[in-house]
Amino acid sequence: MFPGATVIRLPTVDSTNNYAAMLLKTSKVAEGTAIMADEQTHGRGQRGNSWQSEDNKNLTVSFVFYPTFLETGNYFLWSMAVSLAVRKLVHVQGVPNVSVKWPNDVLVGTKKIAGILIENAWNAGRLQSSIVGIGLNVNQLRFGDKVNATSLHLLVGQEFSRKRLLEILSSYLQKAYIDLLSAKLDSLRSEYHQYLYGKDLSKTFFLANGTEFTGIVREVSDNGKIMIERESGLSSFEMKDITWSY
Ligand code: BTN
């Protein structure tokens, strides 16, 4: 455990990321602190989407870290490390074929099992603090019309302890953070690309203006851009520029 890091468990909150942001504004928060909620009334996802999660069934947690050694040019290494920690958590529960979908969803086959919302604060081009929000589908069995979602229980056929999963996730994240701090970068990049969904495959995307295009996913850079090979050559895209068609 990081010194002073605790778990704050809330029965209900609007969003654990919001709660972490409020804590950061009003008090000193020890690195590695986790805020976990049994219910989120306004869970948030990437691109302004909401994050729906059945009450008391899943892991909805936000961690606070201070990766001040990262800059705008390499900040995405932290996202890679976080995604891989969540991927490993799912994998060690006995689930095969777990991948990381850029920028940082975790998939089993083509179904999403976890989403990650990292909210970074910057100071003069350096990362100041990072709120790492993770939604992992654990014991939820029905997803309504979300046919592309799955959970640990659905995949493994048993219930899981959310408390135990959180303990393992905390330890993986802390290790990932220490590895990043000690600059184990080549293994981080290669592991991210080893598990990158669609790597070296032809995939279809939409540009922000709705135009569809197809290209081969090649790699993701340290600053979070994805490189896609098209007939016209290699293009790089930021998260706001494209979405997956699936
Ligand atoms: C996504 O896939 O769009 C990201 C989903 C992130 C959801 C988690 S749940 C815990 C934390 N609190 C939030 O409001 N969002 C993140």
Compute the distance between CA of residue 159 and CA of residue 215 in angstroms, rounded to an integer: 39
> Given the DSSP bridges, would you call strands 111-123 and 126-136 parallel, antiparallel or unpaired?
antiparallel
**Ligand 1 pocket, 245 CB below 6 A?**
no
The tokens of 132 are what? 């790492």
What is the structure's pLDDT at 151?
98
Query: Are the C-beta atoms of residues 188 and 194 closer than 8 Å to each other?
Result: no
| Predicted confidence band of residue 4 (pLDDT cuts 50, 70, 90) | confident
- Residue-level pLDDT at 147: 84
Residue 160 Cα, ligand 1 centroid: separation in angstroms? 20
Q: Is 53 in contact with 36 (CB distance < 8 Å)? A: no
79 lines ligand 1 (CB under 6 A): no
Higher-pLDDT residue of 183 and 63 is 63
pLDDT at 230: 95
Q: What is the mean pLDDT of residues 68-88?
A: 98
**Verdict on whether the full-model pTM lies above 0.85:** yes
Mean pLDDT of 12-24: 98
pLDDT of residue 246: 73
pLDDT tens per residue across span 91-144: 999 999 999 999 989 999 999 999 999 999 999 999 999 999 999 999 999 999
Tell which atom from ligand 1 comes closest to the C-alpha of 115.
2
The sign of the torsion formed by the CA atoms of 26, 30, 31, 36 equals negative
Per the structure block, which two tokens stand in for 129?
Answer: 């603090």
- Tens of pLDDT, residue by residue over 184-218, are 899 999 999 999 999 999 999 999 999 999 999 99
Is the pLDDT reported for residue 49 higher than 90? yes
Q: Read off the pLDDT band of 54 (50, 70, 90).
A: very high
Identify the pLDDT of residue 184.
86
Decide: 45 in ligand 1 pocket, CB within 6 A: yes
Residue 128 has a pLDDT of 97
Task: Measure the CA–CA gap between 53 and 79, rounded to whole angstroms.
Answer: 22
CB 205 within 8 A of CB 243: yes
Tell me the per-residue pLDDT of 25-42, one tens digit each, with 9 for 90 and over.
999 999 999 999 999 999
Residue 178: predicted pLDDT: 96
Q: Mapping DSSP to helix (H, G, I), strand (E, B) and coil, where does residue 131 land?
A: strand
Q: Is 135 in the pocket of ligand 1 (CB under 6 A)?
A: yes
DSSP letter assigned to residue 225: P
Is residue 51 in contact with ligand 1, taking CB distance under 6 Å? yes
Q: In the chain, what is the greatest distance between 2 CA atoms, to the nearest angstrom? A: 53
40 lines ligand 1 (CB under 6 A): yes
Distance, in Å, from the CA atom of 68 to the CA atom of 56, rounded to the nearest integer, reads 34
151 Cα to the center of ligand 1, angstroms: 15
pLDDT of 3 reads: 86
Residue 159's contacts (CB-CB under 8 Å, 6 or more residues apart) are 139, 153
Which ligand 1 atom sits closest to the C-alpha of 47?
3
Q: Give residue-wise pLDDT tens across range 154-173.
A: 999 999 999 999 999 999 99
pLDDT of residue 33: 97
Whether residue 78 has its Cβ less than 6 Å from ligand 1: no
What confidence tier does 145 reach under pLDDT thresholds 50, 70, 90? confident
Per the DSSP assignment, residues forming a β-bridge with 34 are 7, 63
